[in-house]
Amino acid sequence: MQILNVTDKEFTNFGRIIEGYEAEKKEIMEALRDKTPIPEGTDYVAEEAALQSLAAADKITNTLFGGSPMQFGWCNGHNTKLNCLEYHRSSEINMGATDFILLLAKREDIVDYKLDSSKVKAFLVPAGVMVEVYATALHYAPCQAHKDSGFQVLVGLPKGTNVGKPEYTAANQEDKLLTATNKWLLAHADSSEAKNGAWVGITGENIDIANDIQ
């Protein structure tokens, strides 16, 4: 699979690079590197005290999310597969203490609540580059950028996202994709999420970039 860079023009369909905030980025990177683990698999923490308490977190919240409450967590580990795609009703902020790769697609390419994995593109995000992934972009757990190392990635979202699941009675098909607060999920049939009952909404191959990284 071709791995593009977030500096390539193709990324503008999915997100943008956030300029400035150099001191804040450095503070966040150091906390990610020193205070969060790199598990053998993939782990996610919606809100991490070591990040949330940073002065950098306050400053970024007051501008990037316009002062709306924001949570700072992480997604770390080792992964090379697509498995699932999700979307929110909001943008997501990502930045790595390591290089990492995002597998992204566009919501507009969903047809009858299914998406062909051939629509997915891969983007390298170099360490220290902060990106906004638009609400219109499908994404999921990052992938490692190198065979011999994992990833440590900031996940900034509106407060309460991915925390618990609202109680509701599905009124339409999209409602059946809602798996957590502000999280709609499409799973590939080969994924553990599908085996646990998630909507099987990814057709085609379950992309694996293991042979595309060095």
Q: How far apart are CA 167 and CA 160, in angstroms?
A: 15
Question: In this structure, are strands 151-158 and 15-17 parallel, antiparallel, or unpaired?
Answer: unpaired
Percent of the chain with pLDDT over 70: 100
Amino acid 32: pLDDT? 98
Q: Residue 51 is inside which H or E element, if any?
A: helix 49-52
Amino acid 59: pLDDT? 94
Amino acid 172: pLDDT? 97
Q: Which residue has the tokens 């553990």?
A: 192
User: Nearest-CA neighbor of 202 among 180, 184, 183, 187?
Assistant: 187
Amino acid 107: pLDDT? 98
Which pair of structure tokens corresponds to residue 123?
């983007």
Amino acid 167: pLDDT? 93
What is the overall mean pLDDT for the chain? 97
Residue 85's pLDDT band (cuts 50, 70, 90): very high
**Predicted structure pTM score:** 0.97
The per-residue pLDDT for range 198-208, each reduced to its tens digit, is 999 999 999 99
For residues 182 and 89, the answer to whether their CB atoms sit within 8 Å is: yes
Report the SS3 class of residue 189.
coil
Residues with Cβ within 8 Å of 112's Cβ and at least 6 positions away in sequence, in order, are none
Q: How far apart are CA 189 and CA 101, in angstroms?
A: 22
Amino acid 197: pLDDT? 95
Q: How far apart are CA 36 and CA 29, in angstroms?
A: 10
Indicate left, alpha or beta for 200 from its phi (over 0: left) and psi (-120 to 50: alpha). beta
The per-residue pLDDT for range 134-159, each reduced to its tens digit, is 999 999 999 999 999 999 999 999 99
The per-residue pLDDT for range 41-82, each reduced to its tens digit, is 999 999 999 999 999 999 999 999 999 999 999 999 999 999
